[in-house]
Amino acid sequence: MKTRRRLWGNVCRATGGTSPAGRSARSRMTSSCLGVPHPSFLGMFIRGGYRQRQPGESVGVSETRPQWTPSQVGQQREKFELVEQITEDISICRTVTPSAAMGIIAPRDFVDVILVKQYEDGTISSNATNVTHASCPPQSGFVRGFNHPCGCICVPISGEPNKTQVFSFFQTDLGGLLPRSVVDSFFPSSMSEFYGNLAKAVKSLKDF
């Protein structure tokens, strides 16, 4: 619990925010999503949560596994490629997302540095932020988006070793010129869909 509070406190201090409240989306499972418009760019600060009946390592693997297909992890990802492996825990990756919102949102790509850490209490965090890389300049056919400090945290549930609480936070600047109404409606529903696909991916690990 202390680890989770410390991690979330660091996020709030880094972004100048508090616990997000506002537009929400909730799937038929045990996931929820809250978000508020970001004051600095055309995007939202999104916090999502999900309780999964799997150990944290399984959830962490499914979230950070680059060779998984979009349907296994999240349909928002069309392509996820490793650009550079810096250390065992730090890598630079490029994510490509397809068009969305009936074509209003054009295909995007994002280049991020990602850090995956495991703590003594079993908590696993995957943290990322945008970065420039010589081998990944902006490409024709994609609008370059920017992920501000974001990540996913998998926290063991005390007394329930086969369950994990998953928290995620995102600050994504989609770039380009988009109506605020499109941005505000896209992010929460996209996050809720992500959790549904994440649950399917974790379940499939039983056969892995």
- Whole-number pLDDT of residue 116: 92
Residue 195 included in any domain: no
* Residue 95: predicted pLDDT: 92
Per-residue confidence (pLDDT) for residue 158, from 0 to 100: 85
The rounded radius of gyration (Å) of the Cα atoms in the chain is 16
Q: β-pairing, 143-144 with 108-118?
A: parallel
Question: pLDDT tens-digit profile of 174-205?
Answer: 888 888 788 777 777 777 777 777 777 777 76
Residue 56: CATH number of its domain: 3.30.530.20
Question: Which pLDDT does position 139 carry in this prediction?
Answer: 93
Structural domain contains residue 76: yes
Structural domain boundaries enclosing 120: 2-189+201-207
Tell me whether residue 25 is in a domain.
Answer: yes
Distance CA(45)–CA(23), nearest Å, equals 11
CA distances from 80 to 93, 94, 155, 160, 193 (A): 7, 6, 25, 33, 18
pLDDT for res 69: 34
Q: Is 149 helix (H, G, I), strand (E, B) or coil?
A: strand
pLDDT score at 66: 41
Q: Work out how many domains the chain is built from and give that number.
A: 1
Question: Which parts of the chain have pLDDT scores under 50?
Answer: 1, 3-5, 7-30, 54-75
C-alpha 67/C-alpha 22 separation (Å) is 34
pLDDT score at 164: 83
User: Does residue 16 lie in a domain region?
Assistant: yes
Structure tokens at 166: 């998953």
Q: Which two tokens stand for residue 186?
A: 């896209």
- Pairwise CA distance, residues 50 & 84, whole Å: 30
Does residue 196 sit within a domain?
A: no
Flag whether 147 is in a domain.
yes
The answer as to whether 151 is a domain residue is yes
Q: Residue 176 has what pLDDT?
A: 87
56-64 helix and 180-204 helix, angle to the nearest 10 degrees: 120
